[in-house]
């Protein structure tokens, strides 16, 4: 959270997603248009209120709409208080929303490669999984990469929003292996 202005300048971010308790929500930096700043008032460990929708549901729905409007058109900075749980969940959800045909495991592995401390908020991910109709695969992919290394604060990291080339590359490798096995 303390690196916002520096990182915006470093990456040329035109969009900002702040995922914080409401009393910690920052004002929109001068470099970001107000309508390009999504403010998600989300505590890290909320309890459900007993209703049919979790308190995070509206925020996760707003995130998915933001992702669909943004479409990866320019750099976005996502931050929470410590850079470990809410922001990494937001990044994972954003990538899953932008890449509906990409296996969740590929997205989760990219997240882990970018940050060894990423521990995405499971409640946010479960809500997004239902909204995106991923059939529990988002949580399963996070189980596969495991919890992040313990840390008080995460380091800023970059993720690509494009997976099509990587999927083609993996599929090509698999088809070559199948072909090689068939020749044996």
**Mean pLDDT, range 31-45, rounded to an integer:** 90
CA distance 107 to 24: 29
**Mean pLDDT, range 49-76, rounded to an integer:** 81
pLDDT in tens, 127-143: 999 999 999 999 999 99
What pLDDT score does 1 carry?
61
**Mean pLDDT, range 149-160, rounded to an integer:** 90
How would residue 169 be classed by pLDDT, with cut points 50, 70 and 90?
Answer: low
The DSSP code sequence of the chain is -TTHHHHHHHHT-SEEEEEE-GGGPPPPPTTS-GGGEEEEE--SSPPP-SSSS-TTHHHHHHHHHHHHHHTT-S-EEEE-SSSSSHHHHHHHHHHHHH-TTS-HHHHHHHHHHH-TT----HHHHHHHHHHTT-TTHHHHHHHHH-PPPP-SSPPP----S--HHHHHHHHHHHHHHHHHHHH-
Nearest-5° Cα angle at 24, 74 to 131:
55
CA distance 97 to 128: 9
What pLDDT score does 71 carry?
86
Residue 26 in this model has a pLDDT that exceeds 50: yes
CATH architecture of the domain covering 4-183:
Alpha-Beta Complex (3.90)
**Mean pLDDT, range 84-97, rounded to an integer:** 96
CA distance 157 to 163: 17
| Sheet of strand 37-41, all strands in order from the earlier edge strand to the far edge | 37-41, 15-20, 76-79
Q: Where are the domains of the chain?
A: 4-183
pLDDT in tens, 101-116: 999 999 999 999 999 9
């Amino acid at each position: 959270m303390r690196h916002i202005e520096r990182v915006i300048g470093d990456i040329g971010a035109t969009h900002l997603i702040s995922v914080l308790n409401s009393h910690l929500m920052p004002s929109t930096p001068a470099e970001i248009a107000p309508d390009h700043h999504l403010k998600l008032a989300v505590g890290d460990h909320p309890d459900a209120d007993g209703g049919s929708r979790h308190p995070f549901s509206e925020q996760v729905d707003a995130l998915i709409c933001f992702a669909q409007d943004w479409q990866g058109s320019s750099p976005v900075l996502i931050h929470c208080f410590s850079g470990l749980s809410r922001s990494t969940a937001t990044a994972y959800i954003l990538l899953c929303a932008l890449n509906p045909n990409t296996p969740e495991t590929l997205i989760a592995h990219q997240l882990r490669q970018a940050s060894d401390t990423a521990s995405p908020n499971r409640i946010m991910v479960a809500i997004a999984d239902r909204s995106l109709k991923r059939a529990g695969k988002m949580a399963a992919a996070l189980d596969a990469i495991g919890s992040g290394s313990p840390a008080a604060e995460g380091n800023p990291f970059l993720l690509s929003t494009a997976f099509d080339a990587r999927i083609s590359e993996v599929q090509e490798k698999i088809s070559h292996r199948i072909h090689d096995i068939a020749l044996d």
